[in-house]
Structure 1
Amino acid sequence: MTNKVLLRLKERPAFLQNYKNPCWYSDEAGKRELRCLPYYHILGVSKSGTGDLSARIRAHEDVLDCGYRLGKSMYYWSNARYGDGTPTDFYRFHRWEDIPQNAGLTEPVVVTPHLMKHVYKDPKFIIIFRNPTDRLYSDYIFLNHGDSPQSFHKHVLQAIQIEEECMRNNTVRQCLYSLDVSKQLPTRIFIGYYSVYMKEWLNVFRRENFLILRTEDYNHDMKGTLRKVYDYLKLNYNEEFLTSVVNIPHMHVTERKRKAGPMLKETRLLLDKLYRPYLEELAVLLQDKRFLWLT
């Protein structure tokens, strides 16, 4: 799959040069209005600190909130098919059959990155990855699928079985992008196959369009990570402002996870083995061994 796929969509607007955002004037029903797309997108990944990171970016005076009722998540490109801080955009391709170019196909040739490429000339994407094993447990407790390490282990076994049964007769893409399969899963185990989704994005956009972070680094050195983010977004700041942003209380601290306690060792070993080949592939794609999560 390449970005040479032709999309039967409207032409890209003629963006104005004096705006950071991709903005243009639209003439509709005899009325001229200024319309803008988000300056940046936090693509993912769910339960990896996207909400906290988004809040600290929006603390900058030059960054305006979209004003949407769900806050950072607009679900324009993923669930609703058509957010500037929506952490499902990276991986949620489950309704790919709705895209006209995919009609009658067994797996998609056009997914979210292709649609965004048609609209954006040079987008800014931020992805924050977390160890997929830890991410899944946090996600599981947060969504209240269960409240104990034992229930998590049981549901992980069931989810692995469902995915493995699908992959015996289908490609990995077909199974991970299947809405029907995802509805059967007692855990969102499919999110952790990071390299599968990353390849989709890198098949369409240049590596320079992505700032890719790790949750673990963000938690260990928030100030250093925010410097990278502000520099990437070309936002002015000084050390006093940076310190004030770091001191903002953390968002989405899950009390249920504290009560549940750590996952079982056998569950961790099972998930680490499941995700290992995809993390090895991710580390090669990004040319960064930190994404092996070996320590």
Structure 2
Amino acid sequence: MTILQGSSLGFSKGLGRRILCSLVFALVIASLVVASYMLAGGKQDHLFQPFPPDSRDYSSSYNQSEGRRQKDIRLSDYSVVRLTDRRIPDIEELKQYEPHLFAVIPQKFLSISRSPCWYQKYEEKKDPYSGNAYVLYSKRFRAVFEEMRQNFWKRLLVKGDSRYRLRCLPYFYIIGQPKCGTTDLYNRMRLHPSVRFSANKEPQWWTRKRFGIMRLKEALQSPFPVEDYLDLFDSTAQEIQALYNAAKDTEDTVTSPLVIGEASASTMWDNNSWMYVYDNTTNTEPPHLTQDFIRTFQPNAKFIVMLRDPVERLYSDYLYFAIANKSVEEFHDKVNESLQMFNSCLQTFTLRSCVYNTTLNNLLTVRLQVGLYVVFLWDWLSLYKMEEFLILRLEDYSVRVLQSMRRVFSFLELEPLSVEQEATITQSPASNSRRPEDCSLGPMNPQTQRLLRDFYRPFNQRLSHLLRDDAFLWEPQSAV
């Protein structure tokens, strides 16, 4: 049995116990929600209180099927966000959970590339991509892999009777957040002559695929091995190898100017896998986070974070992912319901427990937790210095594209672009804009907006303090 097979077997073996734990937590949350609803009806000093009535009456336009209006709620005693330090796992502990990962990725990398690259002895004679899970799972990758397949054999490094393939990890990551402009940033960055990305924009490997999570709230599949993830960077690795081969013939020493990026917008916040994987903990907080593993192998990685007003982010998220019967009234109800569940959790568990709780996150009807930016950033900063992050606001980026892109390329230490190249990047049309049918719904209800502003305000205040920038308050005076 290989290490990978052993790891998969252990994963399956503990699944029943992990699901049982999740069900128990679900029952706890459900009981808290019921109790909170009951208490809210009779007492005014509990966590949720009726929101002051809006000047407009929405009761006639939603919840008609139930014949009643859902009571609005808000935070009343959580005005101070307390961010606590987390326990940082050591490398031996991480090895116990991902032995194969440590067997594949070395601790030191080559100097021929700014991206972390290394040589791996290649002894196979078959198609290197025939079993890649990304190809098998999605047909749209096949053309990309076919091109890599054609160049594969001639780009191997030959030393004596042995052949070696160049393997690489990203030099930088766009780690979040969803519906904050990451797709537009990704498409503009691709126009820089020295920037390369993975074969697909969002591999979601660190947060989902390595655990067998294909889509959220769906049954687990077979985990994607790290080799399949590394295959996504082979096209650039082949370019780097070709440059090295050419320089080797002239006895020149050269470092490739190419840098590899990866743009999974789940990397910053999604740790929903932990309840299925780490079943030997009695704590309600995850013992390990995604960044623990990334930091172990890439202590000098760079991270780009795109943020926007979390209130508007949530509405955009709802419009994008909701399938049918979307309305501002339904959104209002979902916000109320999700606030009730999240705040019920806070009555019993820590903030970090609730933010990272898989069961709760699957119960929420809108993704409130994704907008709690300061919680995620705080945990990333437990491992990396602030200098390793470039944090942009969508509100600034959208009106000052050129200045924003210059900041991005400077942060990555890339060569400046010509006027013509900058014009190409800035004149490119915006990506992933709101669909016309969603625009027709108009803005969210003012009452919904006030509910969400009350909820997110203390988190925005902590974020603003952490970043020393009042623009991250997203109050009217900080709007662009």
Task: Indicate the TM-score class for this superposition, using the shorter chain for normalisation.
Answer: over 0.9
Aligned to 2:423: 243
- Which structure 2 residues correspond to residues 128-277 of structure 1 after superposition, within 5 A? 128-144=306-322, 146-236=325-415, 237-255=417-435, 256-277=437-458
What 5-or-longer segments of structure 1 have no aligned partner? none
Displacement, 1:140? 0.2
Is 2:434 the partner of 1:290?
no
Shift of 1:5: 2.9
CA distance in 2, matches of 1:111, 1:194: 15
Contact 1:101–1:109 under 8 Å retained in 2 = no
**Contact 1:102 / 1:110 at 8 angstroms: preserved in 2?**
no
Say if 1:137 and 1:263, in contact at 8 Å, map to a contact too.
yes
Q: Encode CA deviations 1:122-159: one digit per residue, 9 max, x unaligned.
A: 00100011000000000000002552211111110011
State the alpha-carbon separation in 2 of the partners of residues 227 and 102 from structure 1.
Answer: 46
CA contact (8 A) 1:102 1:109 kept: no
Whether the 8 Å contact between 2:275 and 2:358 is mirrored in structure 1 is no
Once the two structures are TM-superposed, the CA of residue 3 in structure 1 deviates from its matched residue by 4.7
What's the CA shift for 1:186?
A: 1.0
Whole-Å Cα distance in 2 between the matches of residues 210 and 136 of structure 1?
Answer: 23
- From 295, 302, 306, the equivalent of 1:124 is 302
Q: CA RMSD in A?
A: 1.9
Counterpart in the other structure of 1:23: 117
Structure 2 letter corresponding to 1:94: N
Amino acid at match of 1:186: T
SS of equivalent to 1:128? strand
Instruction: Tell me by how many angstroms 1:174 deviates.
Output: 1.2
Cα distance, 1:102 vs. partner?
Answer: 6.3
Aligned residue number for residue 5 of structure 1: 90
For residues 3 and 177 of structure 1, the distance between their equivalents in structure 2, rounded to whole angstroms, comes to 16
Match of 1:80 in 2: 209
In structure 2, how many angstroms separate the alpha carbons of the residues matched to 1:162 and 1:194?
Answer: 19
SS of alignment partner, residue 176 of structure 1: helix
1:35 aligns with 2:167: yes
Contact persistence 1:97–1:103 (CA under 8 A)? no
Q: Which amino acid aligns with 2:352?
A: R
Contact 2:201 2:263 in 1 (8 A): yes
- Cα distance in structure 1, aligned partners of 2:307 and 2:462: 14
1:278 aligned residue (453, 459, 469): 459
Note closer, same or farther for the CA distance 1:89–1:212 as it changes in structure 2 (3 Å cut).
Answer: same
Once residues 152 and 24 of structure 1 are traced to their aligned partners in structure 2, the CA distance between those partners, rounded to angstroms, is 49
* Residue pair 1:195, 1:278 contacting (<8 A) in 2 also: yes
Normalising by structure 1, what TM-score? 0.93
The TM-score normalised by the length of structure 2 is 0.58
Contact 2:397 2:404 survives alignment (8 Å): yes
Shift of 1:99: 5.4
Say if 1:213 and 1:102 are closer, same or farther in 2 by CA, change over 3 A: farther
Residues 1:102 and 1:116: Cα distance change in structure 2 (over 3 Å): farther
| Cα separation, 2, equivalents of 1:169 and 1:3 | 24
Task: Name the SS of the counterpart of 1:139 in structure 2.
Answer: helix
Residues 148 and 260 of structure 1 are in contact (CA less than 8 Å); yes or no, is this contact kept in structure 2? yes
Deviation at 1:96, TM superposition (A): 2.0
| Farther-moved stretch of structure 1 (246-255 vs 28-37) | 28-37
**1:227-268 deviation digits (Å, cap 9, x = unpaired):** 000111122212221111111111111223311101111111
C-alpha separation in 2, matches of 1:162 and 1:4: 30
Q: CA deviation at 1:284?
A: 1.4
The answer for the alignment partner of 1:48 in structure 2 is 180
Q: Which amino acid aligns with 1:114?
A: D
- Do 2:89 and 2:288's aligned partners in 1 also have CA atoms closer than 8 Å? no
Q: Check the 8 A contact 1:5/1:110 in 2, yes or no.
A: no
**1:144-198 deviations in Å (ceiling 9; x for gaps):** 2552211111110011011111111111111111111111111111101111111
Report the equivalent of 2:289.
111
2:79 is matched with: none
Deviation at 1:104, TM superposition (A): 4.0
| Residues paired across the two proteins, number | 292
Deviation at 1:288, TM superposition (A): 1.5
8 Å contact from structure 1 (residues 12, 118) kept in 2? no
Q: Is the 8 A contact 1:2 1:203 kept in 2?
A: no
Change (3 A) 1:290 1:76: same
**Range that drifts further, 11-20 or 219-228:** 11-20
- Any idea what SS the aligned residue of 1:64 has? strand
SS of the aligned residue for 1:43 comes to: strand
Alpha carbons of structure 1 residues 5 and 129: separation in structure 2 relative to 1, 3 Å: same
Q: Check the 8 A contact 2:172/2:303 in 1, yes or no.
A: yes
- Give the Cα separation in 2 of the matches to 1:166 and 1:31: 55
